[in-house]
């Protein structure tokens, strides 16, 4: 995967309009959640930052709630480093706010889910990757379906989380599903750096997509600009558009 070193997260990236044109004819299979999760006894979603679990797997969580399948979210960090230099948000205030936002979003999608906070320092998951892998080995079971960001997603915390999940699930025997999140930003349609042959679409009903949008709206700290620094929102509309489709793409 040497060619993946060229990926960067900068600017506005590849627009959703470009992706839609390509996705309309991309040779990608479609699979319902029930079929994807057949034989699994629990879903575990490993989220590097509060909101990644919603952007990547809101449909999976809603399926868990509707079908009675247990769901556990493992929050790797509390997202306290998202507003450097802010006079509006201290790191402690951000950690509390983002954990609260995540709880509100989960209550909308899968109120029966469990959330486990590891509180690894935001932006430093690579430095704590052995610790994360060890905790995952303690928490995972062989009958779990584990969802995490793709291990080559482009964001260091996402990649370290994906790598730790890949190692832990290989040891435990859990099924691993990886989800592109920032990949949609730096990649281009048909990009040979992405293993599209492993990708499937999991459709979302109109109601499921509405609930996903509502859950994402809970993350006000990420959706609003910071007047104290003059910085735009962490998650502007052009970024969220790539993850608010009527399907979620999963690598298996």
DSSP 68: T
The pLDDT of residue 2 is 35
The pLDDT of residue 4 is 45
Q: How far apart are CA 116 and CA 106, in angstroms?
A: 12
Bin 64: left if φ > 0, else alpha if -120 < ψ < 50, else beta: alpha
Q: How far is CA 90 from the centre of its chain?
A: 24
Q: How far apart are CA 41 and CA 43, in angstroms?
A: 7
Domains of the chain, by residue range, sit at: 32-251
- Across 93-97, average pLDDT: 98
The pLDDT of residue 6 is 59
Tens digit of each residue's pLDDT (9 = 90 or more) over 3-51: 344 577 889 999 999 999 999 999 899 999 999 999 999 999 999 999 9
Exposed e or buried b for every residue in 99-130, given b needs 16+ CB within 10 A?
bebbeebbebbbeebebeebebebbebeebbe
| Nearest of 113, 105, 119, 82 to residue 231 by alpha carbon | 82
Tens digit of each residue's pLDDT (9 = 90 or more) over 148-197: 999 999 999 999 999 999 999 999 999 999 999 999 999 999 999 999 99
Q: How far apart are CA 44 and CA 65, in angstroms?
A: 13
The pLDDT of residue 234 is 95
In degrees and rounded to multiples of 5, residue 117 shows phi and psi of -95, 120
Tokens of 81: 């480093």
Beta strand 42-47 pairing with 144-149: parallel
pLDDT band at 74 (very low <50, low <70, confident <90, very high): very high
For the chain, give the percent of residues with pLDDT over 70. 98
| Nearest of 12, 74, 8 to residue 236 by alpha carbon | 12
Angle among Cα 146, 148, 152 to the nearest 5 degrees reads 135
Which CATH homologous superfamily contains domain 32-251? LmbE-like (3.40.50.10320)
Average pLDDT, the chain: 95
Contact by Cβ (8 Å): 132, 118:
yes
Q: How far apart are CA 52 and CA 171, in angstroms?
A: 25
Q: Is the pLDDT of residue 216 over 60?
A: yes
Q: Where are the alpha helices (DSSP H) in 117-200?
A: 129-139, 156-172, 183-186
């Amino acid at each position: 995967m040497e060619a993946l070193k060229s990926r960067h997260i900068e600017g506005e990236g590849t627009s959703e309009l470009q992706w839609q044109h390509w996705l309309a004819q991309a040779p990608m299979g479609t699979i319902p959640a029930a079929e994807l999760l057949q034989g699994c006894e629990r879903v575990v979603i490993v989220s590097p930052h509060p909101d990644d679990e919603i952007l990547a797997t809101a449909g999976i969580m809603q399926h868990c709630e509707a079908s009675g399948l247990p769901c556990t979210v493992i929050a790797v960090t509390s997202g306290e480093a998202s507003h450097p230099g802010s006079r509006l948000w201290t790191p402690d205030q951000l950690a509390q706010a983002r954990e609260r936002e995540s709880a509100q979003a989960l209550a909308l999608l899968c109120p029966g889910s469990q959330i486990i906070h590891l509180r690894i320092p935001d932006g430093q998951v690579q430095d704590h990757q052995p610790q994360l892998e060890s905790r995952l080995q303690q928490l995972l079971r062989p009958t779990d379906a584990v969802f995490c960001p793709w291990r080559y997603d482009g964001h260091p915390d996402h990649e370290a989380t994906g790598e730790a999940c890949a190692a832990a699930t290989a040891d435990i025997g859990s099924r691993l599903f990886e989800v592109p999140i920032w990949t949609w930003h730096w990649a281009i349609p048909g990009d040979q750096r992405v293993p599209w042959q492993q990708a499937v679409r999991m459709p979302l009903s109109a109601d499921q997509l509405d609930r996903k949008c509502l859950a994402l709206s809970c993350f006000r700290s990420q959706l609003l600009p910071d007047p104290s620094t003059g910085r735009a929102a962490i998650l502007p509309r052009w970024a969220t558009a790539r993850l608010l489709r009527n399907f979620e793409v999963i690598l298996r």
